[in-house]
Structure 1
Amino acid sequence: MAIRKIVIYPAEILEQTCKPVEKFDKKLAKVLDDMYDTMIEYDGVGLAAPQIGLDARIAIVDIDDELGTIEMVNPRVIKTEGEQTGPEGCLSFPDLFGEVTRPNFVMIEAYDRKGRKYSLEAEGFLARAIQHEIDHLDGILFTTKVTRYLEEDELKGVESE
């Protein structure tokens, strides 16, 4: 396990569409383990491969709920519904937070570290975190969706994704 360096904006890789993962092997498992350690070290709730300099469709989310860590390899959004607006941050944009509107419900399909396909439905904050990370894999940054930036005193309890 290793803590990887977080890629900070304006690094080019953050705005690129990532390549699909084709090999489900020990190297992928190590990347996922490193991503988890890195996310915890930097106090995030999600992390995408380009945020550690990798051009691969890999992301994780862990919002400290009963689901634990969600590993998403080659994730695809199947369906979204509703709307929610709330604060978001990003480990690649230290100390920057903004209000973002996203669907309140998301259904995704993805693969786990062993190459098994699964689908997942999420609502609320988990749906927000999943969509934020999948956006990273498509080179879409939360700053392109911010309706207004937040001041430090508005940030009580906001976590970075």
Structure 2
Amino acid sequence: MARMDIMPGVGVEAVKIGDPRSDVERRLGPPAHAGKRPRAVYDSVDPMLVVTYDEDDIVELVEIGYGVDNQVYFDGVQLTYRFMDEVMADLAAKGQLGTPSDIGFDLRAGFAIYSMDSLTAQDLDPDAPEDDPRRVVEGVSVAPYAYFTADPPPLDGTDEELDAWLRKRGMLPAES
């Protein structure tokens, strides 16, 4: 099984946040589509990379998808093509905390895992019932944590500040 390791907040070996488009294309070749769009798909590496460039053609986000044979890893943890709750449990055991998003989790280290719900639990577990709610991690986005949330949780705040932040997002019940 092939693997691609991420460097949180930085990217992957082939593409790093802050790289100019010209450097990326020198290393990977031209994107799989024509034109100078903000997002470019590079299929010269496995798994494929989707790179988002800012208005100055500088890398601001690196996305890596799943594959049955080619997966994304961080610190020995397989991130893609696994159940999201299992990935989060493995990451939490390594001290990696995240905040829920509408499609997955944003991790403070500088990456996000997500599911677009194109895979179902049955894709990983053929014996799973059709209505199995478990989500499958289909991709990983790498960028500094601030990219994923304009309102990050207070990392050095008081318990009350963190509770207020969690309540604001509906992750804790409102105070009575």
Place the TM-score, normalised by the shorter chain, in its bin: under 0.3
> Larger RCO: Structure 1 or Structure 2 (Cα < 8 Å, ≥ 6 residues apart)?
1
Q: TM-score, normalised by structure 1?
A: 0.26
Normalized per residue, the structure richer in helix is: 1
Q: TM-score, normalised by structure 2?
A: 0.25
Normalized per residue, the structure richer in strand is: 1
